[in-house]
Structure 1
Amino acid sequence: MDCRDLPGRAKRYYQKNGLKKTLKRMVTKPEPPKQDIVGFWDFIVNREEIPFSKQDYESHRGEQTVINWIVPEFEKGSGGHTTIFRFVSALERRGIHNRIYVYRPVKLNDESLHQLLRDHFQLLDERVESFCGTDRVEYAHATVATSWITAYFVRNFQNTISKFYFIQDFEPYFYAHGSEYSFAENTYSFGFRGITAGDWLRDIAREQYGMKAMSFHFSYDRTIYYPKDKPDDRPRVFFYARPVTPRRDWELGVLALHELYRRIPELEVVFAGWDVSTFEIPFPHRNMGVVSMETLADLYSQSDLCLVISSTNLSLVPLEVMGCGRVAVCSGGAQSAWMVNEENAVMVDFEPLQIAEAMEYYLTHPREREEKRQKGLAFAAATSWEREADKVYEAILEGIEEDEKRIS
């Protein structure tokens, strides 16, 4: 194969990745559309219930509280599952037993699930049970949906006292305003109790859908994210790059960074969160792909600013950045205001030139950057996962106690 015969973009891919990867990319077709509409979406209309068992209820009265967690399939690097497992483990330490069930698995089985948890989610308490599939779900005092898809299973699962919805983002926004948007939005009317990541989601759950909802806030792992000296003087910006996640505004970020590079030619950009090697990026950068939390902390520490854009609920990244003693540059809006503001971060609009201008200012004004850095670090230091876990623990027990009164 002669790369001279390839069109420009294909030639660059060949030169960067070699023959084997190029051929694989040429013959690999995109995933086919969901052609079997009725078969694929059957869970939306399936109303076959798993009934409440008074016998199960009576036999478990007075026993240790047990929670079923219904989670979507996942892989290493899943931040949403990391947060779920963090709270699951915190509840386990507080005397509640937890069981995790993967809903509608495609790639995982019991063995590979357990291996995945051992290798990449070591924070999960070893006493927590885990199962691939929901065919073995048993009676529990509470059952928790953790995504809109899993909410359809929990809707039909009646062998439980209370139902909760662990909401980390407004999932209808993941889709165009069509069927999937409606499928996701409908789940907020299933009558579950909401446990939301932040106040923006709590207010949506309460005000738009009439849910009983409480919120927890974020913290960070102080054994991983802590201040380190920057190794050199080169201006450097970290960008949380997720081109596969539209709500993280990949294109907007690249345009802003290109403009910043035009203004500061010695700039280096560090991408992490996804492999971006297939994109044409016309400025000096490092493509780190999906990395461990430890590597992520090192990358934060090597940077002056860390750009984190989100059109929906923000992630843990801004707080981790602050914990590392670096300055977070965050998009504004109600989805962010519950955690970041002009005191602890650099706030920007969803406009590339304005983002570039703000970053240029703080890269060229070290005193102002240091002031933001110190305030961000102080804000992060005042947060606590244990305090947030206490709030969730109390909300779950209160919900179970209240719902149990309705059982005759």
Structure 2
Amino acid sequence: MLDNARSRARQIIRVLRAEGLEGARRRARRVGHRVLGAEAEELPLLASDVADSTQLAPFAEPVRVSGRPLRIGWITTPPGAGSGGHTTMFRMIEGLERAGHDNRLYLYDTSHGDLARHERVVRENWPAVAASVHDVAAISGSGGATDADVWVATSWQSAHVLASRPHLSGRRMYFVQDYEPYFYAHGSLYALAEDTYRFGFTGITAGAWLAEELADRFGMHSSHFEFGADLDVYSVASGDGAPARDGVVFYTKPGVARRGHATGMLALERFARVRPDVPIHLFGDPVPQVPFAAVNHGRLRPDQLDDLYNRCRVGLSLSFTNVSLIPWELLASGTVPVVNDARHNRVVLDNPEVVWADATPGALSAAMQAAYDSYDLSTAPARLSRSVVGASWADAAQSVAAFIESQTLDRA
């Protein structure tokens, strides 16, 4: 008995030395799950809001509109500051508002948070958006003031919400930014997310790959918009105040499997062994234990991020579903993106300045080394930035507005 206790104590000390306190906590959680049973898979929507493509009630027939602006209802989860998905959605809403249309947000919050607080987040973080903000409960009744000409689901959860309310009049659309079944293991949530592509909504997708994927798998009709770059935020610093470019940078999302955190960290660890002289920068969600020398910046505002990119020659950007927005930001700031080679990335990110590599630690590390060593400080920043000059979010928003109008407005 005493020997077992001593053995366990020595093991705890070894874990603390090798992995630190956070490593010990992770091991304790795993042991707890084995002893007490794994946590149940959490359903991120109410059971009453789950729709079923095999048993959908007929939707109200949409009527084309003439002689007035469109009323457009967007069903979405409450946005958080810095949310990339919400930011892209709001860019499209701004474009529709510039075209004169009336947009309304209907927030789906299973935690029943305070609507006034959610609206403050919208106003503080997306001040150009004029859309009114409502609770999704406002559309639970039949007809009335919540009728819209167009309803737009913005995630698989909100697609279920829209499909489970057949009384709503108006055309039903689905703003798809990623193949969301891939967010989960192949189980219940995967199946519920996948079923939304059978609801019969018209898709508006981020990039051509998603439109092709949804058409091939489900026969879903979609229009796509091209990715843009925030050229008013991300640019090459010049003059005496320009920082030295001597680093590499990686966006860290340890809790989001599709962002390849573990693979990226392994690649950077190999890179650091070969090039210990090169500063490594991490930003995004904090990383408690880093097995190599790195500056862990945490979350950064866009202007801070532009400054960080301008201190780097190479940026590692991994995505195992739809392509990330980060390569466009890196290029605009004069930084070479090293991206995992995959069809969903190549179809959308068609840029000759991108360095492609197999999604293995060794291949990514080698690609970063080659890109870093071949970087010409006198010519590369401006050349890279020029490669995304035509990538305009305003053009993307205009194309989305034109597509929605083509589906709903009577021009005669």
User: If the length of structure 1 is used for normalisation, what is the TM-score?
Assistant: 0.84
Tell me the equivalent position of 1:77: 82
Instruction: Report SS of the residue matched to 1:222.
Output: coil
Distance in 1 separating the partners of 2:44 and 2:293: 48
Tell me the equivalent position of 1:128: 131
Contact 1:50–1:157 (CA under 8 A) maintained in structure 2: no
Instruction: Report SS of the residue matched to 1:354.
Output: helix
Shift of 1:338: 2.6
Shift of 1:134: 3.3
Instruction: Report SS of the residue matched to 2:172.
Output: strand
Shift of 1:223: 2.0
Tell me the equivalent position of 1:249: 260
Shift of 1:281: 1.4
Work out whether 1:44 is the aligned partner of 2:55. no
Contact 1:330–1:345 (CA under 8 A) maintained in structure 2: yes
Instruction: Report SS of the residue matched to 2:223.
Output: strand
Work out whether 1:147 is the aligned partner of 2:155. yes
Instruction: Report SS of the residue matched to 1:380.
Output: coil
Shift of 1:63: 3.4
Paired positions, count: 383
Contact 2:152–2:174 (CA under 8 A) maintained in structure 1: yes
Superposed counterparts of 1:326-337, under 5 Å: 326-337=335-346
Instruction: Report SS of the residue matched to 1:366.
Output: coil
Tell me the equivalent position of 1:19: none
Work out whether 1:231 is the aligned partner of 2:238. no
Q: 1:267 aligns with which of 278, 301, 305?
A: 278
Per the alignment, do residues 371 and 248 of structure 1 end up closer, same or farther by CA in structure 2, a change over 3 Å counting? farther
Distance in 2 separating the partners of 1:285 and 1:38: 35
Q: CA RMSD in A?
A: 3.3
Tell me the equivalent position of 1:359: 368
Cα-to-partner distance string for 1:58-108 (whole Å, 9 max, x where unaligned): 9x8743211000012332221000100111111011111100111134263
Per the alignment, do residues 13 and 265 of structure 1 end up closer, same or farther by CA in structure 2, a change over 3 Å counting? closer
Contact 1:341–1:347 (CA under 8 A) maintained in structure 2: no
Higher relative contact order (CA 8 A, sep 6+): 2
Tell me the equivalent position of 2:306: 297
Contact 1:267–1:284 (CA under 8 A) maintained in structure 2: no
Shift of 1:120: 2.3
Contact 2:251–2:317 (CA under 8 A) maintained in structure 1: yes
Contact 1:305–1:359 (CA under 8 A) maintained in structure 2: yes
Shift of 1:33: 3.7
Shift of 1:288: 1.6
Shift of 1:15: 8.6
Distance in 1 separating the partners of 2:193 and 2:21: 42
Gaps of 5+ in 2: 1-8, 141-145
Shift of 1:136: 4.2
Tell me the equivalent position of 1:222: 231
Contact 2:49–2:164 (CA under 8 A) maintained in structure 1: no
Per the alignment, do residues 39 and 156 of structure 1 end up closer, same or farther by CA in structure 2, a change over 3 Å counting? closer
Per the alignment, do residues 8 and 106 of structure 1 end up closer, same or farther by CA in structure 2, a change over 3 Å counting? farther
Per the alignment, do residues 33 and 370 of structure 1 end up closer, same or farther by CA in structure 2, a change over 3 Å counting? farther
Per the alignment, do residues 109 and 257 of structure 1 end up closer, same or farther by CA in structure 2, a change over 3 Å counting? same
User: If the length of structure 2 is used for normalisation, what is the TM-score?
Assistant: 0.83
